[in-house]
Chain A
Amino acid sequence: MKPPTFVQVLGEVLITIGAVLMLYVVWQVFVNDPIVGSVQQEKAKQFAADKSSTAKSFIEITPNLKQGAVFAKMHVPRFGKDYERLVGEGTFQKVTLNIVGVGHYVTSEWPGEVGNFAVAAHRTSHGAPFADIDQLQKGDRIWVETNDNWFTYEYRQTKIVSPRDIGVIDNLPQGLAGAVYGGKYMTMTSCHPKWSNDQRIVVWLELVETNAKSRGMPADLLEEKRR
């Protein structure tokens, strides 16, 4: 039997590398994403809405929170009736986006404040918390839960922008029709389209209600979760 030539061996090595790279993509999308997503969901559930004895508390919101510090939780029924994700400080991938799930832009406001509470999350990979961000539509509500309050934000507008359009997370969001100084907005950002880093999808919401945590989960969110 003739030994294989150098070219034959090189060809087989290159084919093997190609196959491994494709397997990595398959792992990332079909294995890792659902696992990481469910881990993020389970972690979020450990921070219970009602302050039971076993529930964890969020970190109190103070200036200069460290990257990754979890200070809130988001409930987005449009992404699934039980969808909950923690919100961590900062948008560094390794610390916040890849681990916590949703990250708060450090230059933006806190939940419920006048101005713009802006967050980012992966559209694909690492649990893909904002995989369905493009599905948000008129009438949708998002609830942000902190230690003391429930903030109810209502959908206003979706826009596709360039990654350079950083004004979308300004206090007065650039591109949001009808935005006024003194408004209380929330901005969600992620990559667009899926599997691409070329553009950003931006969803704006506006605060419509604030409830003290002591009053329990807002009735309309409870209703959404029971559907």
Chain B
Amino acid sequence: MYAALYRKLPGGPMLKSLCLLGILILVVATLFAIVFPAVETLLAEDPSVDG
């Protein structure tokens, strides 16, 4: 899966690494800004007190 993605990226190893870094940043930013806040609201409520 990841090997196939790496092969599909353009350029030599340096450019491929830069592209990978960009993709990684994009994925993490999407998770932090959109996915995780959305998941947080869906988590089940426990009507007791915990910390």
**A and B held together in a complex:** yes
A residues within 8 Å of B by Cβ? 1, 4, 8-9, 12-13, 20, 23-24, 27-28, 31-32, 91-94, 97, 103, 105, 120-125, 130, 163, 189-192, 197, 200
Closest to B45 in A: A94
Contacts of A163 in B (CB 8 A): 50
Instruction: Establish whether residues B31 and A20, one from each chain, have CB atoms under 8 Å apart when the complex forms.
Output: yes
Known: A20-B31, A189-B49. 12 other contacts (CB 8 A): A4-B3, A23-B32, A24-B31, A24-B39, A27-B36, A28-B36, A32-B40, A93-B46, A93-B47, A93-B49, A105-B49, A190-B51
- Of B2, B4, B7, B51, the residue contacting A123 (CB under 8 A) is B51
How many Å from the CB of B13 to the closest CB on chain A? 17
**Count of chain B residues with Cβ under 8 Å from any Cβ of A?**
19
B1-51 CB contacts (< 8 Å) to partner A: 1-4, 7, 28, 31-32, 36-37, 39-40, 45-51
Report whether A13 and B1 are in contact in the complex, using a CB–CB cutoff of 8 Å: yes
A131–B49 alpha-carbon span in the complex (Å)? 15
Looking at the assembled complex, report how far the CB atom of B5 sits from the nearest CB atom of chain A, in whole angstroms: 10
Assuming A92-B47, A93-B45, is B4 touching A4 (CB within 8 A)?
yes
Looking at chain A's contact residues, the main secondary structure is mixed
From residue B4, how far is it (CB to closest CB) to chain A in Å?
7
CB-nearest residue of chain B relative to A1? B7
Max chain B C-beta neighbours (<10 A), residue from A27, A121, A130:
A27
Chain B residue numbers with a CB within 8 Å of A91 are 48-49
Q: Which 4 A-B pairs have the closest CB atoms?
A: A191-B51, A123-B51, A120-B49, A12-B1
Measured between alpha carbons, how far is A20 from B27 in the docked complex, in Å? 10
Contacts of A200 in B (CB 8 A): 51
In whole angstroms, what is the CA distance A112 to B31 when docked?
A: 45
Tell me the nearest residue of chain A to B32, going by C-beta: A27
* Inter-chain contacts of B1 with A (CB < 8 A): 4, 8-9, 12-13
Contact of B31 among A23, A97, A197 (CB under 8 A): A23
Taking a contact as CB atoms under 8 Å apart, the answer to whether B2 and A12 are in contact is: yes
CB neighbours of A120 from chain B (8 A): 49
Chain B residues near A121 (CB-CB < 8 A): 51
Q: 23 A-B contacts, Cβ less than 8 Å apart?
A: A1-B7, A4-B1, A4-B3, A12-B1, A20-B31, A23-B31, A23-B36, A24-B31, A24-B36, A24-B39, A27-B31, A27-B32, A32-B36, A32-B40, A91-B48, A91-B49, A92-B45, A94-B45, A105-B49, A121-B51, A130-B51, A189-B49, A191-B50
